[in-house]
Chains A and B, each alone.
Chain A
């Protein structure tokens, strides 16, 4: 006798978990894409935290 007999309810629960999971993954992917687009739309960003910015070096010469 098979002990692993699967009730229909397990399929229904699996579909529910899968649905929620896919929705969350999709949301996360969209947020990532949206973040990239928003950051790019700001334009070029300079990031010289631990070195001197080239323009400052130019000025000091």
Chain B
């Protein structure tokens, strides 16, 4: 041991650095949508079972995030947005991220199976596999459709929540899945429009890099138009209600309008106002998803209170 090592503590990880491997911000969306899936299901779980289900779904999602950070450390180091993540920052060793990812994956799947049922556990295992292997290892560096298909991983949590309670997949859970699945591409492509240099440098084949920005703008509009009927359609199932339906119509009208404006613009216009429209669309897209699932909860509460 040399003297240099005695003071070389700056890169020793804190608890927060390990926790950051689980992508807490993504996890918050997973927890929220899984919670909605559990609450709107026609049957109920004991509160402790429901708490366990949400926790293990969240840990499973976090584990897939850790595996993603292990595999993508080289890309993350190049992109400004991700260069401060624990592994590229040198705080957590890649091997540690892999070990944490694998251990938490196994633990969360088995515990979800024991706490609820094995169909839900199987879906969680598939989600982790899909995000870590199909998306991270295979699609992300290979095809510009990476986020379209990879979006499925983020779309599973409300379905897993629903299945954890009911033990079966139904039209409501499929539509909740479809809502997040169709929402992901416009959300990320809007981000890619104003973060282009990042993806260029990392060599990730985002649509903006491979097919250009005109095509990306077209794709945002097409996917937003396909998203709207799915989002509104969910309002006509058993989980929908007047609040959701009204909210969905308004938000989708706004979203389609935003996508249309993005479609109408070209690069010169976007450069001129520093991607104001694209940034506003991206920001709204985050609220869009939270508000849709929030509206489902509002309708549920009103039904519970006997107002509806």
Which A residues lie at the B interface, using CB under 8 A? 7-9, 12-13, 15-16, 18-20, 30, 33-34, 36-37, 41
Cβ-defined contact, A34 with B52, below 8 A: yes
Among candidates A9, A15, A33, A41, residue contacting B9 with C-beta atoms closer than 8 Å: A9
B55: Cβ under 8 A from any A Cβ: yes
Cβ-defined contact, B14 with A15, below 8 A: yes
Among candidates B15, B46, B55, B115, residue contacting A19 with C-beta atoms closer than 8 Å: B15
The answer to whether residues A34 and B49 also contact, given A12-B14, A15-B15, A18-B15 and a CB cut-off of 8 A, is yes
The answer to whether residues A16 and B52 also contact, given A34-B115, A37-B46 and a CB cut-off of 8 A, is no
Chain B 92-119 against A: per-residue CB contact (8 Å), 1 yes, 0 no?
0000000000000000000000110000
Q: A20: shortest Cβ distance to chain B, in Å? A: 7
Residues of B close to A8: CB separation below 8 A: 9
Cβ-defined contact, A34 with B12, below 8 A: no
Chain B contact residues: helix, strand, loop or mixed: helix
B48: Cβ under 8 A from any A Cβ: yes
Residues of B close to A18: CB separation below 8 A: 15
Q: A58: shortest Cβ distance to chain B, in Å? A: 35
Q: B22: shortest Cβ distance to chain A, in Å? A: 12
The answer to whether residues A16 and B9 also contact, given A30-B51, A37-B46 and a CB cut-off of 8 A, is no
Residues of A close to B14: CB separation below 8 A: 12, 15-16
Q: Which chain B residue lies CB-closest to A15? A: B15
Q: Which chain B residue lies CB-closest to A33? A: B48
Q: Which B12-54 residues sit within 8 Å CB-CB of chain A? A: 12-16, 18-19, 46, 48-49, 51-52
The size of the chain B interface, using a CB distance under 8 A, is 16
Which B residues lie at the A interface, using CB under 8 A? 9, 12-16, 18-19, 46, 48-49, 51-52, 55, 114-115
Chain A contact residues: helix, strand, loop or mixed: helix
Distance in angstroms between the alpha carbons of A9 and B7 in the assembled complex: 10
Distance in angstroms between the alpha carbons of A34 and B49 in the assembled complex: 7
The listed residue with most A CB atoms (<10 A of its CB), out of B9, B15, B18, B19, is: B15
Distance in angstroms between the alpha carbons of A22 and B12 in the assembled complex: 20
Residues of B close to A16: CB separation below 8 A: 13-15, 18
Could you write out 12 A-B pairs with CB less than 8 Å apart? A12-B14, A15-B14, A15-B15, A15-B16, A16-B13, A16-B15, A20-B15, A30-B51, A33-B48, A34-B48, A34-B52, A36-B48
Cβ-defined contact, A7 with B15, below 8 A: no
Distance in angstroms between the alpha carbons of A20 and B13 in the assembled complex: 13
Cβ-defined contact, B48 with A37, below 8 A: yes
Residues of B close to A36: CB separation below 8 A: 48
Cβ-defined contact, B15 with A41, below 8 A: no
Q: A54: shortest Cβ distance to chain B, in Å? A: 30
Distance in angstroms between the alpha carbons of A43 and B55 in the assembled complex: 26
Q: B26: shortest Cβ distance to chain A, in Å? A: 19
The answer to whether residues A41 and B46 also contact, given A9-B9, A12-B12, A12-B14 and a CB cut-off of 8 A, is yes
Residues of B close to A7: CB separation below 8 A: 9
Residues of A close to B12: CB separation below 8 A: 9, 12-13
Q: A36: shortest Cβ distance to chain B, in Å? A: 8
Cβ-defined contact, A37 with B15, below 8 A: no
Among candidates A9, A12, A20, A37, residue contacting B49 with C-beta atoms closer than 8 Å: A37
Residues of B close to A15: CB separation below 8 A: 14-16
